[in-house]
Each structure stands twice: as C-alpha cells, then as structure tokens.
Copies of this chain bind each other. A is one copy, B any other.
Amino acid sequence: MSKKAFQDYYPDDVSHCYGCGRLNEHGLRIKSYWDGEVTITKFIPRPYHTASPGYVYGGLIASLIDCHSTGTAAAAAYRAEGRSMDTKPPFRYVTASLKVDYLKPTPMGVPLEVKGKVKEIKGRKVIVEATVTAEGKVCAKGEVVAVQMPEHMKPRVGVHKIEFTPNE
C-alpha cells in the first residue's frame, strides 16, 4: 500500500510511539489503513518476537492491537466529523484500557493481519474491537477503549533525565 497510513498524519510531537510512531527509529512502526468500514494493518513479527519457539509473543500481539486501535479511533473521529486526516485540529488517541483474548497460539514467520472495527464513538472516547489473524485463522481478539490524549499527556521532554540503563 502506497497511500499514507493513519499514523503518518499524527503531528510530529506525538509521533514517537514505540508501537506506531514514524519518528521512533527503534519502534514497530505499525501502519493502519481503512479497508471499507473496517481498518487493517499487516505486520511480520521479527524473529526474536517469540513466545515459545515458533509462536508469536503475546505482548507483541497486545501492542499491535493497541496501536492499531488508537489509530482506528483517530481515523474514525475524523470520519465522524466528515473531514480528512490532514485537516485540523488533529486527533490523537491514547489507550484507557486494553483487553486481549489469546484464542490460539499465533504462528511465527507469516504476516499477521489486524483488523479493527469501531464499536462506539462517544464524546472523547472510541471503543474498537480488533482481531489478529494468521494463515486465515483468528488467533487473538481484543477490545480497546481509546480516549483523546489529555492535555497533561502532551510531550514533556526533559522533565525526567532519560538515559539508557540496562536492566541487569
């Protein structure tokens, strides 16, 4: 797909998300698109994204559902207002709650397809249902309650000293 993804429309100062920020060079860079009335992203887990060997790590699946759903929330909010994603003011959602049911082990080495469906839009909140499919089988399903990013979560670079510290 060559068209711009939802995440490509996020303003620069909120485009550093590890899951989907185009400006996070270490991140997953999840890209979401409309596919009719649902949304879709495709992702090939990296070889180290394993649970047990041969299967995909559940935390990665949660991350895919998370970022695809907040992207879906933003896209749906623009649609609900009848305007395109390059118009202002911008919509940017964060996750209030995330629920994932792991239905079966997700195989490694194949593309995963995450689909999102808007269940509800109300005020600053959008609820998104998601499925994760591999080899034609739904391996996980999720639900995300996304809310518009609150003012106090706007970037505050420099408040904390951020340095890399190994975890051992």
Contact = CB atoms under 8 A, between A and B. Distances in A.
The 10 lowest CB-CB distance pairs between A and B, nearest first, are A59-B63, A109-B160, A26-B48, A53-B155, A18-B57, A54-B156, A62-B62, A109-B162, A53-B157, A105-B153
Interface string A151-168: 011111101111111011
Nearest to A46: B164
A51 interface: yes
A129 interface: no
Contacts of A17: 50-52, 57
For this chain, the copies found in one complex come to: 2
B51 A107 contact: no
A154 B53 CA distance: 8
A18 B161 contact: no
Given A97-B101, A108-B160, A52 B155 contact: yes
Size bracket, chain A contacts:
35 or more
A84 interface: no
B102 A96 contact: yes
A60 interface: yes
Contacts of A100: 62, 95, 97-99
A103 to B, nearest CB: 9
Interface in A1-30: 13-14, 16-19, 21, 24-29
Given A13-B52, A17-B50, A17-B52, 19 more contacts: A13-B53, A16-B52, A16-B53, A18-B49, A47-B162, A47-B164, A52-B149, A58-B94, A58-B95, A59-B59, A59-B62, A59-B63, A59-B66, A62-B98, A94-B105, A96-B101, A97-B100, A97-B101, A98-B99
